[in-house]
């Protein structure tokens, strides 16, 4: 079973209506006017209702108030670079290899992460890399606060296409969107076609952070999403007298920790 299969089986294939920021949930089809917003006093059961609708189950136990902020992150890159697998690894901590099933249109998943004791909800949109879906995905670029742009370290073509992806991003995305370049499939060292330094050089040229990831082993997957969440959270909550969050420095410091302590 491939990652694509896993992600699509219980989810509709288009993300919610655009422009929401925070914990407003809406359901496809993506008509701009068709949205369902859950409102009501704290504790009445808004989250439980949504979980029941989305996952068909009831969340028993202690009540956790929905607090914090939310952001939209979009995964981009050529078909088969591993976008869906990266998302499945981050969301479920699993890698489902096997037959590759390409994503159709757009899919999405939510994950809440803790950033400096604040709950940050990431709504992650997994786009289809195939050319024929480009016009569908273009429509969603402008609502993403962050973009993870992937290539496959075993595919020179997917790396060469990164410049074209960045051109599209500049055309369709928000000006201040956070971009991160990821060289995925770092576990496939024997088949490597793109050197780490080439990825670093390209990222430097465009002034974006870079790291190599593996959806298979999990290396740097959590770090990539957490760095994005931290950057977005700091942009939103930063006081004028606070020092600016430096995403490059954060990634470097976390990498050093990983190298020293064997963490993923």
Q: Provide, rounded to whole angstroms, the least separation between the CB of residue 101 and Mg ion.
A: 8
The residue within the footprint of ligand GTP, chosen from 83, 109, 121, 233 (CB under 6 A), is 83
Residues 6+ apart with CB under 8 A from 128: 79, 102, 103, 104, 105, 106, 136, 137
47 exposure class (CB count in 10 Å sphere: 0-12, 13-18, 19+): middle
The residue within the footprint of ligand GTP, chosen from 84, 145, 155, 220 (CB under 6 A), is 84
* Site pattern 205..224 for ligand GTP (x: CB under 6 A): ---------xxx--------
Tell me how far CA of residue 146 lies from CA of 2, 11, 59, 88, 160, in angstroms: 25, 22, 30, 18, 21
Q: Provide, rounded to whole angstroms, the least separation between the CB of residue 234 and ligand GTP.
A: 28
The residue within the footprint of ligand GTP, chosen from 94, 97, 160, 238 (CB under 6 A), is 97
Tell me how far CA of residue 76 lies from CA of 126, 177, 199, in angstroms: 7, 13, 16
Q: In the complex with Mg ion, which residue's Cβ is closer, 83 or 109?
A: 83
Q: Does 13 bind ligand GTP (CB under 6 A)?
A: no
Q: Provide, rounded to whole angstroms, the least separation between the CB of residue 176 and Mg ion.
A: 26
The pair phi, psi for residue 53, each rounded to 5°, is: -70, -45
Q: Provide, rounded to whole angstroms, the least separation between the CB of residue 40 and ligand GTP.
A: 37
Q: Provide, rounded to whole angstroms, the least separation between the CB of residue 209 and ligand GTP.
A: 19
Q: What is the DSSP string of 123-190?
A: EEEEE--SGGGHHHHHHHHTT-SEEEEEEETT-HHHHHTHHHHHHHHHHHS-TT-EEEEEEE-TT-GG
Q: Provide, rounded to whole angstroms, the least separation between the CB of residue 43 and ligand GTP.
A: 38
* Site pattern 99..138 for ligand GTP (x: CB under 6 A): -x-xx------------------------xxx--------
Q: Are 13 and 104 in contact (CB under 8 A)?
A: yes
Continuous segment of H or E residues that includes residue 74: strand 69-77
Q: In the complex with Mg ion, which residue's Cβ is closer, 72 or 103?
A: 103
Q: Does 229 bind ligand GTP (CB under 6 A)?
A: no
Alpha carbon distance 45, 164 (integer Å): 45
Q: Indicate which of Mg ion, ligand GTP, none lies near residue 85 (CB less than 5 to 8 Å, by partner kind).
A: ligand GTP
Q: In the complex with ligand GTP, which residue's Cβ is closer, 3 or 226?
A: 3
Residues making contact with ligand GTP (CB under 6 A): 2-4, 79-85, 97, 100, 102-103, 128-130, 184-185, 187-188, 214-216
């Amino acid at each position: 079973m491939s990652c694509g299969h896993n992600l699509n089986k219980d989810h509709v294939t288009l993300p919610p209506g655009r422009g929401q920021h925070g914990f407003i949930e809406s359901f496809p089809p993506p008509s701009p006017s068709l949205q369902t917003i859950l409102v009501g006093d704290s504790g009445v059961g808004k989250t439980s209702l949504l979980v029941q609708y989305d996952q068909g189950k009831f969340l028993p136990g202690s009540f956790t108030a929905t607090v914090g902020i939310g952001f939209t992150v979009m995964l981009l890159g050529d078909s088969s670079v591993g976008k869906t697998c990266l998302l499945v690894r981050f969301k479920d901590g699993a890698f489902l290899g096997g037959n590759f099933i390409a994503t159709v249109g757009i899919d999405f998943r939510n994950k809440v992460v803790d950033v400096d004791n604040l709950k940050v909800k990431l709504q992650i949109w997994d786009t289809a890399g195939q050319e024929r879906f480009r016009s569908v995905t273009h429509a969603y670029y402008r609502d993403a606060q962050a973009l993870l742009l992937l290539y496959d370290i075993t595919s020179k073509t997917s790396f060469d296409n990164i410049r074209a992806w960045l051109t599209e991003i500049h055309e369709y995305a928000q000006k201040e969107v956070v971009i991160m370049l990821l060289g995925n499939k770092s576990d496939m060292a024997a088949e490597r076609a793109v050197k780490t330094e080439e990825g670093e050089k390209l990222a430097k040229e465009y002034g974006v952070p870079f790291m190599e990831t593996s959806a298979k082993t999990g290396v740097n997957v959590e770090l990539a999403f957490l760095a994005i969440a931290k950057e977005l959270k700091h942009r939103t909550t930063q006081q004028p007298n606070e020092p600016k969050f430096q995403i490059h420095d954060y990634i470097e410091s976390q990498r050093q920790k990983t190298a020293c302590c064997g963490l993923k």
